């Protein structure tokens, strides 16, 4: 697809992505997605205008060009959520290019993103989260593997970690301290308190683990001694949710959702929860407010005498 781009466009795109990676700390997956989105947009413009474009014509783009591209994307089945992400990438690239090349991109940057309904997080109930941890820790014939899986899921629920963050812990993090310094998406660091249950679960795993857990090596290991695959935790939770009769949404990430939702239900401050989760934007964390309100209305509908 990049063959349809001019050398100047390819160079500019590469420079923008390098800027995002080095100065903004964008994650590798984010860089890959942005490259795909912007390349697709630039390639569409070649077809739309019937000739290769350099950087100059990009300064003269109109909202008509953007609307034509979005219509093309929707026509080939791209969902509104994915198109909104692609438009955000295109705007980011054009904003950066406008600053570098000295043109006014106001008209393009004012283009509205397609509307879509954000999916609400699907947390587990408190008793279901506790049952999940217990069930995950009772599936293998090897006690150390049971302890390992229970420790990982406890970290997801008890500390609100992403599965990738839990599995990034090393032998140097054991025994778990009162707080962990976690490097999350985009290299963003945050401090996460460690609850006693998580320290106990990890200590039990470390005591039973037959593999030497040296400081620079991964804390959580697979059966052959290598780094534990997140897929193994997902499969363990898949078996557990079938035993417990929980929905397919009871995934490792749902434990993180449950952590946030239960904190909010207990009166936790939204800003504090944002920091604990490592969300760059408060709007992301505010999704849990909608979850809490939705649950409140369910209780109201069931319990109100006039319901």
pLDDT tens-digit map of 119-145: 555 788 889 999 999 999 998 899 999
**Pairwise CA distance, residues 165 & 290, whole Å:** 26
* φ, ψ at 79 (rounded to 5°): -70, 155
pLDDT above 70 (res 294): no
Query: In Å, what is the CA distance from 282 to each residue of 156, 157, 238, 274, 278?
Result: 20, 20, 31, 6, 10
Percent above pLDDT 90 for the chain: 29
Q: Residue 178, CB half-sphere, CA atoms under 13 Å: how many?
A: 0
pLDDT at 1: 46
Q: What is the pLDDT of residues 16-41, one digit of tens each?
A: 988 888 766 667 778 888 899 999 99
Q: Please compute, for residue 214, the number of CA atoms within 13 A of its CA located in the half-sphere on the CB side.
A: 4
**Predicted confidence (pLDDT) at residue 265 exceeds the cutoff of 80:** no
Contacts of 227 (CB under 8 A, 6+ apart): 167, 218, 220, 221
Catalytic site residues?
162, 185, 253, 256, 279, 288
Structural domains in the chain plus CATH codes: 2-109 (1.10.150), 126-302 (1.10.443.10)
Question: Exposed (0-12), middle (13-18) or buried (19+): which is 24, by Cβ within 10 Å?
Answer: exposed
Distance CA 236, CA 137 (A): 9
pLDDT tens across 152-180, in order? 999 998 888 889 999 999 999 999 998 88
Task: Give pLDDT, residue 120.
Answer: 54
Number of H helices and E strands in the chain, helices first, is: 14, 2
Residues 60-76: what's their mean pLDDT?
Answer: 87
* Average pLDDT of span 63-76: 88
């Amino acid at each position: 697809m990049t063959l349809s781009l001019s050398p100047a466009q390819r160079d500019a795109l590469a420079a923008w992505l390098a800027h995002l990676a080095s100065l903004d700390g964008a994650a590798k997956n984010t860089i890959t997605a942005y490259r795909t989105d912007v390349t697709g947009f630039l390639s569409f413009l070649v077809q739309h205008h019937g000739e290769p474009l350099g950087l100059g014509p990009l300064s003269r783009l109109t909202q008509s060009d953007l609307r034509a591209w979005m219509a093309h994307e929707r026509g080939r089945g791209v969902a509104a959520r994915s198109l909104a992400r692609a438009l955000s990438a295109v705007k980011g690239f054009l904003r950066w290019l406008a600053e570098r090349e000295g043109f006014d991109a106001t008209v393009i940057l004012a283009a509205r993103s397609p509307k879509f309904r954000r999916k609400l997080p699907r947390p587990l109930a408190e008793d279901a989260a506790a049952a999940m941890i217990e069930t995950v820790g009772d599936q293998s014939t090897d006690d150390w593997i049971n302890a390992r899986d229970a420790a990982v899921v406890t970290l997801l629920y008890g500390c609100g970690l992403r599965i990738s963050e839990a599995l990034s812990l090393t032998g140097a993090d054991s025994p778990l301290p009162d707080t962990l310094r976690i490097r999350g998406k985009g290299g963003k660091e945050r401090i996460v308190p460690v609850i006693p249950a998580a320290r106990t679960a990890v200590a039990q795993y470390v005591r039973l683990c037959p593999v030497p857990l040296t400081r620079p090596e991964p804390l959580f290991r697979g059966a052959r001694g290598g780094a534990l695959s997140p897929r193994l935790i997902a499969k363990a939770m898949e078996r557990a949710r079938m035993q417990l009769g929980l929905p397919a949404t009871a995934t490792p990430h749902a434990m993180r959702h449950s952590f946030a939702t239960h904190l909010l239900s207990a009166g936790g401050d939204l800003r504090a929860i944002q920091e604990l989760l490592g969300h760059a934007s408060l709007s992301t964390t505010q999704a849990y407010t909608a979850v809490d309100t939705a649950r409140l209305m369910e209780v109201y509908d069931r319990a109100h005498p006039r319901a």
